[in-house]
Structure 1
């Protein structure tokens, strides 16, 4: 991704933290330095060369500039512009992987911004950083600190992974994925095609619709009946929608897994997330309940074999079309790690993540308290905004129909009544 898309913001991660009440900037500066000392990837650079390698630096002070936007006519809008600029400005990881900034929106309202190169963080790690920074700042202002020490730093895990990806284990993992994906083809959406982007229009389309609390509760019950979580259920509905769009009964979509099977990395910051390809085959007569059961098995099998990086699969494992295997991606945000900050204003950090330009079509389901948010981020040069809006609306409708009757065949789900 760095090679093909490194010129945009695809390789930026961002963590935002709103502070309400009294604020001590010197304490925050010390907390950020302690955070960098605690997690080696925040002070690891990647020198340019034929092979990617980590150069870990000793702990050192970290600059934390403070920008006051409280005098602006609309401080929140001014802060949003700065945050957007931060996440869209690339980071040269050969120089330093982390930028920090604090914005003052009011006398007792501050926003801490951590912008990181993707080499050193992922969604799970972002949640760890948010947790740790809060605790370390609390310690600097006199509150008790109770943080578990990371058992492994990222470099230790990288060495362990290299050992795992050799010999018989590498053959076992490669054998599973090549067998699972034999004959798989890229998803070819009829709505996809090259189209000019009007002047002044953003290059990416972002659409969001909500699943109401009653339907979300029913969806969770449906997952429990199938002895699974929301991820396979929401993914099964996504397969059903792709089938309605393409008429294909053999669908392969990409997703991101936490890839933290080793307990030693529970509190380790780094880029662990592994892309996996989830293939499902079914007929128009397959019911949604049956598809949920199949998807549950597919996801569990993929979790057991997620150690093999997607990039190590043989070339052309998935064929067809002119796109890439990661062009259509589905994920349940928060499935990597429960976010302690997934409420209210703190959702700003999720919004910032979705501004990254990563995949041609990225579909994300986000638990937000009692409701679910369904978000689509796709390329304006390849998809029509009206189609994108209808696609997300149809997904929400299919969820409502699924909880009304999961025994409806996939071919009839789009037309099934909603009770």
Structure 2
């Protein structure tokens, strides 16, 4: 990804924290330094060369510049532009993997921005960093902070992973995934075709619609009836929508798993997230309830076998010709780890990061209080904005139909009445 898509800033991660009330910049600088001392990946560089290797540095002070936008006509808009510029600007991991900044909107409203190279962080790690920075800043300003010490640093896990990906265990993992994926094909969405991007238009389409609170509560009840979580249920609805779009009854989509089966890495920062391919086969008469049960089994099996990076599979395991298997991705945001900042302005702050170009079509379901947000990110050069809007609306409609009657066959689900 770094080689082929680094120019699109796909490898930047961001942690954002809105700080209200009195602000102590010296305390924040010390807290950032303590954060880098606590987590080795924040002070690990990757020298350029034929082989990627980690070079871990001793703890040292990290400059934390302040940008004051309090005199701007619209400080919030100015701050948002800074956040967008930060996430769009590449982080040179051969020099330093972390770029902190503080934006002052007014004397008692600051936005703390940590921009990181993806080599050293993922969504779960971002949540850890948000938690730890809050606690470390509190400690620097005289409050009590009780943080669990990381049992392993990332380099220890990397050595453990290398040991796991050898011998009988590698054979076991490879046998599972080849058995699951051999004969699978990439999803071919009929609406996808190359098209020129009009001048002045952004290269990326972002469409968001909401599942209301009553429907979301019913969806959670449906998950409980199936003894599962929202992830397999929302994934099953996504399969149903793809079936309606493509007519294909054998669908494989990518997703990201936390890949933290070892308890020693519960509080470890690093890039653990594993791309997994979730394949489901069904018939037109399969009901959504049956598809949820299948998806539950598929997800649980994938979790038990997520240690194998899918790049280690034989290149022809999934048919498609390009070798790319992540063009269509489904994600339940927050499924990696509950974030402390998933509300209000902090949730709005995430929008800039979500709009980065990463995959041709990325469908994200985001829990927001008692509602769900359904968000589609796709390439404007490959998809039409009107189609994208309809696709997300149809997903929300299918969710409503699913909770009304999950026993309707997939062939009739799209046209089933909503009660």
TM-score after normalising by structure 1 = 0.99
Conserved 8 A contact 2:315-2:323: no
1:186, 1:321 within 8 Å by CA — same for their partners in 2?
no
Question: Partner of 1:150: helix, strand, or coil?
Answer: coil
2:361 corresponding residue in structure 1: 361
Rounded Cα–Cα distance in structure 2 between residues aligned with 1:364 and 1:137: 32
Counterpart CA distance in 2 for 1:8 and 1:377 is 14
Secondary structure (helix, strand or coil) at the match of 1:329 reads strand
1:313 aligns with 2:313: yes
Q: Over residues 325-354 of structure 1, what are the superposed CA-to-partner deviations in whole Å (9 max), with x where a residue is unaligned?
A: 100000100000011111111113432320
Match of 2:146 in 1: 146
Aligned to 2:93: 93
CA-to-partner distance for each residue in 1:51-96, whole Å, 9 max, x for gaps? 1100000000001000100100000000000100000011111111
Map of 1:404 onto structure 2:
404
Q: Structure 1 residues 127, 42: CA separation in 2 closer, same or farther (over 3 Å shift)? A: same
| Structure 2 gap ranges (5+) | none
In structure 2, what is the equivalent of residue 203 of structure 1?
203
1:180-199 CA-to-partner distances (Å, cap 9, x unmatched) read 00100000000000000000
2:261 — aligned with what?
261
Q: Secondary structure of the residue that 2:174 maps to in structure 1?
A: helix
Aligned counterpart, 1:291: 291
Q: Deviations over 1:204-255 (max 9, x none)?
A: 0000000000000000000000000000000000000000000000000000
Pairwise mapping of residues 232-251 of structure 1 onto structure 2 (< 5 A)? 232-251=232-251
Structure 1 position 355, deviation (Å):
2.0
Secondary structure, counterpart of 1:93 in structure 2: coil
- Name the residue aligned to 1:172: 172
Q: What's the counterpart of residue 81 of structure 2?
A: 81
Report the Cα distance in structure 2 between the residues aligned to 1:284 and 1:23, rounded to whole angstroms: 59
Are the counterparts in 2 of residues 244 and 414 from structure 1 also a CA contact under 8 Å?
yes
TM-superposed deviation, 1:7:
1.4
Q: Which residue of 1 aligns with 2:51?
A: 51
Could you tell me how far apart the structure 1 residues matched to 2:173 and 2:18 are?
A: 43
Q: What are the Cα deviations for residues 152-193 of structure 1, in whole angstroms up to 9, with x where unaligned? A: 000000000000000110011001000100100000000000
Return the alpha-carbon distance in structure 2 between the equivalents of residues 332 and 320 of structure 1: 25
Using the alignment, how far apart are the partners of 2:325 and 2:160 within structure 1? 27
Question: Secondary structure of the residue that 2:198 maps to in structure 1?
Answer: coil
Post-superposition CA distance 1:371-400 (Å, at most 9, x none)? 000000000000000000000000000000
Structure 1 residue runs without a partner (length 5+): none
Q: Which residue of 1 aligns with 2:342?
A: 342
- Distance in 2 separating the partners of 1:322 and 1:348: 35
Contact 1:14–1:349 (CA<8 Å) still a contact in 2? no
Partner of 1:31: 31
Q: Per-residue displacement from partner, 1:274-320 (whole Å, max 9, x unpaired)?
A: 00000000001000000000000000000000000111111021113
What's the CA shift for 1:322?
5.2
Q: Which residue of 2 aligns with 1:388?
A: 388
The answer to whether the Cα contact below 8 Å between 1:188 and 1:321 also exists between their aligned partners in 2 is: no
CA distance in 2, matches of 1:174, 1:200: 46
Separation in structure 2 between the aligned mates of residue 85 and residue 316 of structure 1, nearest angstrom: 39
CA distance in 1, matches of 2:189, 2:265: 38
Task: Work out whether residues 316 and 323 of structure 2, in 8 Å CA contact, stay in contact via their aligned partners in 1.
Answer: no
Shift of 1:130: 0.1
Provide the rounded CA distance (Å) in 2 between the counterparts of 1:168 and 1:323: 26
Task: State the shift of 1:324 in Å.
Answer: 2.0
Which residues in structure 2 correspond to 1:103-118 (within 5 Å)? 103-118=103-118
Instruction: Give the alignment's TM-score, normalised by structure 2.
Output: 0.99
CA distance in 2, matches of 1:330, 1:401: 20
SS in 1 for 2:7: coil
Residues 43 and 57, structure 2, Cα contact 8 Å, conserved in 1: yes
**Distance in 1 (alpha carbons) for counterparts of 2:410 and 2:92:** 47
Q: Secondary structure at the match of 1:277?
A: strand
Deviation at residue 321 of structure 1 after TM alignment: 6.2
Within-5 A mapping of 1:187-226 = 187-226=187-226
Report SS of the residue matched to 2:298: helix
Question: How many pairs does the alignment contain?
Answer: 419
